[in-house]
Amino acid sequence: MSAVFTVINPATALPIREIPRASVDDTDAAISRAVVAQRSWAALPPVARADALRSFARVVEAHVEELAQLEVLNSGHPIGSARWEASHVAQVLNFYAGAPERLSGQQIPVAGGLDVTFHEPYGVVGIIVPWNFPMTIASWGFAPALAAGNAVVLKPAELTPLTALRLGELALHAGLPEGLFEVVTGSGSVVGQRFVSHPDVRKVVFTGSTSVGTDVAAGCARELKPVTLELGGKSANIVFADADLEKAAASAPGAVFDNAGQDCCARSRILVERSAYDRFLELLEPAVQSWRVGDPADEGTEMGPLISASHRSSVEGFLDGANVAFRGSAPSGDGFWFAPTVVLADRGDRLAREEVFGPVVAVLPFDDEADAIQLANDTIYGLAGSIWTENLGRAVRVSRGVKSGVLSVNSHSSVRYWTPFGGMKASGLGRELGPDAAEHFTETKNVFFATDAS
Ligand code: TXE
């Protein structure tokens, strides 16, 4: 196998750069450096770790434009989105910079002594990242893991390593110790698997497909290693007839076509109450047609290309025999372009159940509230979802009835770094972000101190 791989610009299909393909030995060497760095890092006073993370955040903030341009080049993300993603990394670092001084244990009343708990870091944490949001997903793992006193070995996806490599350099530039935050580029079956099997990697965070995630979890089980999984989704955007239909239709394209649908939270099924179905489609059509697909470097672009030629073929395959209602537009020529597509689906259709991970949305009618909940839950996944209604009681009932980890009512928001994020069912295991994430990178130790004078 070649010692390098070539990174491609998805908007032009042209090569950008060659990147080292790490071997098992290279991976082991990075893990060994991380083991050494972690010991000194965990021994620092909490305020020193907090300061180091704040400094890292400031350096990232100062490089937002450079990181954003790299993501435009490597991932085809529109420049506006890429800037948001780079700023988000700085904000996540800033937020978890507050954690070292807040990881308080407990004091538990006992007879004959004092009982206290400590949040001990795991040691080295392995973070495996997919190609759809290379920077943000990486930061959801590395910021709280570092804050809790761990070292991190990070494996970006083969297709999109550029921003992760740059973040590794910026960490050093900010003064983080050598070895504490190691970025290891290479294949999942080599580097990713080594994170799973190496005895010194004590926790794994995986984001990617449900099938690989299941294998990663099985490997971690053999090592009795905790694992957090963020996997696929087939989230429902449920629109009741009593909703503000104009607003629901105007916002629906962004909820599924953002990042060209390559988003685990994409609302890729729109479920519409039957009495509002025709009107909703009438309103949706112009919203889809005005969705701006084009050069990701252009400030006005809302959607860029798909990530690769093979991924485009996989997305295209979903349209075989599909009942396409209408489509938006996309550039022709080089690059992995795909026009936003709205399909009228039946329950049981592949498009109504499987994750496409592209700009294709399935619209289905439902009869009443119970039917909406049943249909929303008729998938192996349970990551996100939206509920559009002006009826407060219904909003509460439906949000409690839908089995998903992240729901929003009369909006499509999924990610705020200070609120928890993660999926139910085949969408994952564990939660990232929010107030408790740093604690998830620790193990509780209980210590009893005898105080009896004898
Ligand atoms: O994911 P993979 P891919 C879904 C989406 C997409 C499909 C395939 O449907 O079309 O998955 O994407 C590393 N041990 N999602 O191929 O293969 C790999 O190198 C350890 C949904 O990119 O799961 C990469 O770094 N690691 C998802 C990461 O795992 C392994 C986001 C993800 O790769 C490994 C991405 C192994 N055996 C894809 N094999 C979402 N919903 O957010 C691969 N990897």
Q: Is the CB of 190 under 6 A from ligand 1?
A: no
Q: Which atom of ligand 1 is least distant from the CA of 314? A: 10
Domains of the chain by residue range: 4-231+427-449, 236-416
Q: Is the CB of 423 under 6 A from ligand 1?
A: no
CATH tag, 236-416: 3.40.309.10
Asked if 191 and 212 count as a contact pair (C-beta separation under 8 A), the reply is no
Question: How far is the centre of ligand 1, averaged over its atoms, from the C-alpha of 289 (Å)?
Answer: 31
Q: Which atom of ligand 1 is least distant from the CA of 231? A: 41
Asked if 235 and 381 count as a contact pair (C-beta separation under 8 A), the reply is yes
Atom 20 of ligand 1, nearest CA residue: 192
Question: How far is the centre of ligand 1, averaged over its atoms, from the C-alpha of 352 (Å)?
Answer: 21
Question: How far is the centre of ligand 1, averaged over its atoms, from the C-alpha of 262 (Å)?
Answer: 12
The greatest distance separating any two alpha carbons of the chain, rounded to the nearest whole angstrom, comes to 85
Atom 42 of ligand 1, nearest CA residue: 264
Indicate the residue type of 432. Answer: E
Atom 19 of ligand 1, nearest CA residue: 188
Predicted pLDDT of residue 454: 66
Question: How far is the centre of ligand 1, averaged over its atoms, from the C-alpha of 288 (Å)?
Answer: 28
Atom 43 of ligand 1, nearest CA residue: 188
The token pair that represents 450 in the structure block: 């005898």
Asked if 281 and 325 count as a contact pair (C-beta separation under 8 A), the reply is yes
- Work out the end-to-end distance of the chain between its first and last CA atoms, rounded to an integer number of angstroms: 68
Q: Is the CB of 132 under 6 A from ligand 1?
A: yes
Cβ partners under 8 Å of residue 393, min gap 6? none
Q: Is the CB of 209 under 6 A from ligand 1?
A: yes
- CA distance to 61, 171, 406, per residue, from 168 (Å): 14, 5, 30
Question: How far is the centre of ligand 1, averaged over its atoms, from the C-alpha of 247 (Å)?
Answer: 34
Atom 40 of ligand 1, nearest CA residue: 264
- CA distance to 114, 118, 442, per residue, from 108 (Å): 7, 12, 19
Superfamily of domain 4-231+427-449: Aldehyde Dehydrogenase; Chain A, domain 1 (3.40.605.10)
23/33 Cα distance (integer angstroms): 16
Predicted pLDDT of residue 414: 81
* pLDDT tens per residue across all 454 residues of the chain: 679 999 999 999 999 999 999 999 999 999 999 999 999 999 999 999 999 999 999 999 999 999 999 999 999 999 999 999 999 999 999 999 999 999 999 999 999 999 999 999 999 999 999 999 999 999 999 999 999 999 999 999 999 999 999 999 999 999 999 999 999 999 999 999 999 999 999 999 999 999 999 999 999 999 999 999 999 999 999 999 999 999 999 999 999 999 999 999 999 999 999 999 999 999 999 999 999 999 999 999 999 999 999 999 999 999 999 999 999 999 998 999 999 999 999 999 999 999 999 999 999 999 999 999 999 999 999 999 999 999 999 999 999 999 999 999 999 988 999 999 999 999 999 999 999 999 999 999 999 999 987 6
Q: In testing the pocket of ligand 1, which one of 140, 191, 209 has its CB within 8 Å of the most ligand atoms?
A: 209
Q: Please state the φ and ψ torsions of residue 242, each to the nearest 5 degrees.
A: -85, 0
CA angle 86, 88, 93 (to 5 degrees): 105
Atom 7 of ligand 1, nearest CA residue: 209
Atom 9 of ligand 1, nearest CA residue: 357
The catalytic site residues sit at 230
Predicted pLDDT of residue 56: 99
Q: Is the CB of 357 under 6 A from ligand 1?
A: yes
Q: Is the CB of 232 under 6 A from ligand 1?
A: yes
Asked if 398 and 369 count as a contact pair (C-beta separation under 8 A), the reply is yes
Predicted pLDDT of residue 333: 85
Question: How far is the centre of ligand 1, averaged over its atoms, from the C-alpha of 249 (Å)?
Answer: 31
Predicted pLDDT of residue 1: 66
299/140 Cα distance (integer angstroms): 27
- CA distance to 51, 148, 192, per residue, from 118 (Å): 21, 11, 30
Predicted pLDDT of residue 80: 98
417/437 Cα distance (integer angstroms): 10
Q: Which atom of ligand 1 is least distant from the CA of 383? A: 41
Cβ partners under 8 Å of residue 400, min gap 6? none
299/277 Cα distance (integer angstroms): 34
Other Cβ atoms within 10 Å of 367 Cβ, number: 12
Q: Is the CB of 207 under 6 A from ligand 1?
A: yes
146/149 Cα distance (integer angstroms): 5
Atom 27 of ligand 1, nearest CA residue: 208
pTM above 0.95, yes or no: yes
Q: Is the CB of 328 under 6 A from ligand 1?
A: no
Q: Is the CB of 10 under 6 A from ligand 1?
A: no
Q: Which atom of ligand 1 is least distant from the CA of 263? A: 42
Atom 4 of ligand 1, nearest CA residue: 209
What letters, b where the CB count within 10 A reaches 16 and e where it falls short, cover 68-107?
A: bbbbbbbbbbbbbbbbebbbbbbbbbbbbbebbeebeeee
List, as one string, the DSSP characters of 387-402. Answer: EE-S-HHHHHHHHHHS
Q: Beta 14-20 vs 4-9: how paired, if at all?
A: antiparallel
Q: In testing the pocket of ligand 1, which one of 140, 212, 354 has its CB within 8 Å of the most ligand atoms?
A: 212
